[in-house]
C-alpha cells in the first residue's frame, strides 16, 4: 500500500485521531509519521525531541521521570485540544505502557491508530548507520526482544496496522 493510500485510512473528519508508533530505533517510525501527517493539522509528541529540549541531548536517558512527566503532560493537553491528529512518536514497546495513552484517547472519542513497525534488529542497526543519531546495536537488540505486538485489547479497540519498509 502506498503512503497516500494509508493516509486515507487514518483521516477521520468527525472524530480526532490518535496515532501511536510501535517499534525499535531505526524502524521508520518518525519518517512514516512525517509523511502521513504532512499538511494536516497535527501535534507530534516525540520523545527524542523532548529529551533534546529538556536535556540538550536526544539520546540522554538521564532524568527519565522528568522527561516522561513532560511527555504525559503534553499528551494530555494535546488529546483534549481541538487538534485533529495527535501522534506519539516513540517506541511504545509494551502493551501495558501503550494502554495508558490509548484509554484517554478512546474516552474522548478519538479513533486510535497503532502503527507497528516489525523489523529485525540487524536491519534497524543498518538503518541507524545511515542517519546522524545512532543508537548502539546492543540497545536495538535489547529493545527488539522487548517489543510486543498488538494485544487482544488493542485489536478489539484500535485500528492496528503493520508497517513494513524496504530499507535496502
CB-based contact 110:16 (threshold 8 Å): yes
Provide the H-helix boundaries in 114-151. Answer: 121-129, 137-146
Q: For each of the chain's 168 residues, which pLDDT tens digit applies?
A: 555 656 666 665 566 789 999 999 889 898 888 888 888 888 999 998 998 999 988 777 778 789 999 999 999 999 999 888 899 998 888 999 999 999 999 999 898 999 999 999 999 888 888 876 678 888 889 999 999 999 999 999 998 888 876 644
DSSP state of 158: S
- Please check whether residue 86 is in contact with residue 72, taking contact to mean a CB–CB distance below 8 angstroms: no
Q: What are the residues whose beta carbons fall under 8 Å from the beta carbon of 89, sequence distance 6 or more?
A: 21, 29, 30, 33, 44, 45, 46, 47
How many angstroms separate the CA atoms of 91 and 145, rounded? 13
C-alpha cell at 12: 477521520
What are 55's three cell numbers?
536535556
Three cell numbers written together for 52: 533534546
User: Would you call 109 helix, strand, or coil by DSSP?
Assistant: coil
Amino acid at each position: 500500500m502506498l503512503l497516500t493510500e494509508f493516509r486515507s485510512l487514518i483521516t477521520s473528519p468527525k472524530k480526532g485521531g490518535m496515532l501511536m508508533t510501535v517499534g525499535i530505533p531505526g524502524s521508520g517510525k518518525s519518517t512514516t509519521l512525517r509523511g502521513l501527517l504532512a499538511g494536516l493539522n497535527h501535534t507530534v509528541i516525540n520523545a527524542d525531541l523532548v529529551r533534546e529540549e529538556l536535556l540538550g541531548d536526544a539520546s540522554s536517558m538521564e532524568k527519565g521521570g522528568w522527561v516522561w512527566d513532560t511527555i504525559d503532560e503534553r499528551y494530555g493537553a494535546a488529546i483534549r485540544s481541538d487538534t485533529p491528529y495527535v501522534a506519539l512518536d516513540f517506541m511504545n514497546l509494551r502493551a501495558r505502557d501503550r494502554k495508558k495513552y490509548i484509554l484517554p484517547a478512546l474516552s474522548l472519542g478519538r479513533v486510535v491508530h497503532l502503527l507497528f513497525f516489525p523489523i529485525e534488529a540487524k536491519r534497524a542497526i543498518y538503518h541507524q548507520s545511515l542517519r546522524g543519531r545512532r543508537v548502539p546495536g546492543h540497545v536495538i537488540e535489547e529493545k527488539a526482544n522487548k517489543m510486543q505486538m498488538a494485544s487482544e485489547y488493542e485489536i478489539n479497540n484500535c485500528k492496528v496496522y503493520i508497517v513494513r519498509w524496504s530499507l535496502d
